[in-house]
């Protein structure tokens, strides 16, 4: 009998595994060894896990996430280009810590400087880029702090652009996630953060990426590591699978190995528990609505629901859509005018909303519009 009971239990679990392949699990704070960590959905900014997310801490070279964000903005805005030549100043060449041993007066392209900053975490290259964009590192740091305020980074104060320990140079895991989310909007950054080994100076200088997850984690795309005596071992790790993009931030780990392990745990938790859901447009969201005093009796509606939203994995069968539309609208109606909305819910909880808009324009009836139609009709007779 005991044998049969064991077989029955095994079969039960097998059935569950077949019909319910997803099993959600919680991530405890004890499993994450770092004192501060955050897991964020890169698309929505939703926090999926947090441990002391607003604790103010040093962050070492994670600072360069903001530096690179401003560099990418300068490129996209046409202020600088990847082919521009950057000349290292005495100040840039004087940086310690991780560097590429720039000499005063040495030149490299913006592309090469970015590569050195991302892959080798080069402090001298970061300063050279900052000076090239703003003239001085101090002015660049001012712009970094302005950008931090714009992003809502309330625990962050930058004192330099490379992350070397300095009194008052602090941030938080949540703030790091915010600036990482902003940086990866510039998809070009992944061309650098995904490099494992590369070379500068005609092959004389080898760059090896400080992010060891590039070799061990499925779907990893970046982003930046950092280590100093004050900050400990830190990482902002980005990864993507099946359209779900995640940002895992770990600050203050005791060792580099622990920081990578914690980041992998966070990403594993996110990919196991969440998915991106691409909704379908409900049939009743596309229809004709009466137009009062319009040159046409109706206006056609349309809805763009191509932007996916985050859901708990396995909950897609519970998602419902509610359509709210006006019965009648007054002319004039312009193409793109909001005429209603689609609300997607998981049980009773609202999880996404999309506007229903006018697919075409409808002019208002006027004497001249009616006269114009009559005139064209008479001409055509």
- Across the strands, what pairs with 301? 358
Catalytic residue among 64, 181, 212, 224, which? 64
- 61 counts as catalytic: yes
β 288-292/328-330 pair status: parallel
Count Cβ atoms below 10 Å from residue 85 Cβ, excluding itself: 11
State the number of CA atoms in the 13 A half-sphere of 346 facing the CB: 13
Q: Which of 75, 69, 116, 58 is nearest to 92 (CA)?
A: 116
Cβ neighbours of residue 107 closer than 8 Å, sequence gap 6 or more: 85, 86, 87, 88
Residue 184 and residue 246 in contact, taking contact as beta carbons nearer than 8 Å: no
Q: What span, in angstroms and rounded, lies between the C-alpha atoms of 359 and 248?
A: 40
Cβ neighbours of residue 1 closer than 8 Å, sequence gap 6 or more: none
Query: Vertex 97, ends 91 and 100: CA angle to 5°?
Result: 70
- 28 counts as catalytic: no
Containing 260, the helix (H) or strand (E) segment is: helix 256-273
Ramachandran angles phi, psi of 312, nearest 5°: -70, 135
Catalytic residue among 36, 61, 98, 245, which? 61
Containing 9, the helix (H) or strand (E) segment is: helix 2-19
Exposed, middle or buried: residue 168 (CB in 10 Å: 0-12, 13-18, 19+)? exposed
Count Cβ atoms below 10 Å from residue 259 Cβ, excluding itself: 27
Catalytic residue among 89, 98, 121, 245, which? 121
Is 108 strand, coil or helix?
A: strand
Q: Which residues are catalytic?
A: 61, 64, 121
């Amino acid at each position: 009998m005991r044998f049969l009971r064991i077989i029955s239990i095994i079969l039960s679990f097998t059935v569950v595994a077949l019909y319910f392949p997803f099993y959600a699990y919680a991530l405890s704070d004890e499993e994450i060894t770092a004192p501060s960590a955050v897991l964020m959905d890169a698309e929505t900014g939703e926090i999926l896990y947090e441990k002391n997310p607003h604790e103010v801490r040093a962050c070492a070279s994670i600072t360069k996430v903001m530096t690179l964000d401003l560099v990418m903005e300068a490129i996209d805005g046409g202020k600088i280009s990847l082919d521009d030549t950057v000349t290292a100043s005495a100040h840039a060449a004087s940086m310690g810590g991780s560097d590429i041993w720039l000499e005063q007066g040495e030149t490299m392209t913006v592309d090469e400087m970015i590569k050195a900053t991302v892959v080798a975490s080069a402090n001298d290259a970061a300063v050279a880029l900052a000076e090239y964009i703003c003239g001085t590192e101090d002015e660049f740091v001012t712009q970094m702090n302005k950008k931090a305020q714009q992003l809502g980074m309330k625990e962050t104060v930058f004192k330099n652009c490379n992350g070397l320990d300095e009194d008052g140079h602090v941030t938080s895991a949540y703030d790091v996630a915010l600036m990482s989310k902003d940086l990866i909007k510039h998809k070009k950054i992944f061309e650098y953060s995904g490099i494992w080994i590369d070379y500068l100076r005609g092959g004389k200088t080898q760059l090896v990426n400080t992010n060891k997850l590039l070799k061990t984690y499925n779907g990893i795309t970046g982003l930046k590591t950092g280590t100093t005596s004050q900050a400990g071992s830190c990482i902002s790790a980005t990864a993507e699978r099946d359209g779900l993009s995640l940002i895992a931030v770990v600050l203050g780990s005791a060792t580099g190995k622990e920081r990578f392990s914690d980041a992998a745990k966070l990403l594993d938790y996110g990919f196991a528990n969440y998915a991106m859901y691409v909704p379908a447009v409900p049939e009743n969201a596309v229809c004709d609505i009466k137009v009062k005093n319009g040159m046409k009796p109706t206006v056609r509606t349309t809805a763009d629901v191509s932007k996916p939203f985050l859901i708990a994995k396995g909950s897609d069968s519970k998602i419902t859509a509610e359509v709210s539309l006006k019965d009648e609208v007054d002319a004039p109606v312009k193409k793109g005018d909001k005429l209603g909305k689609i609300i997607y819910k998981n049980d009773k909880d609202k999880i996404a909303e999309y506007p229903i808009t006018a697919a075409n324009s409808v002019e208002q009836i006027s004497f001249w519009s009616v006269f114009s139609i009559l005139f064209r009709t008479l001409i055509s007779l």
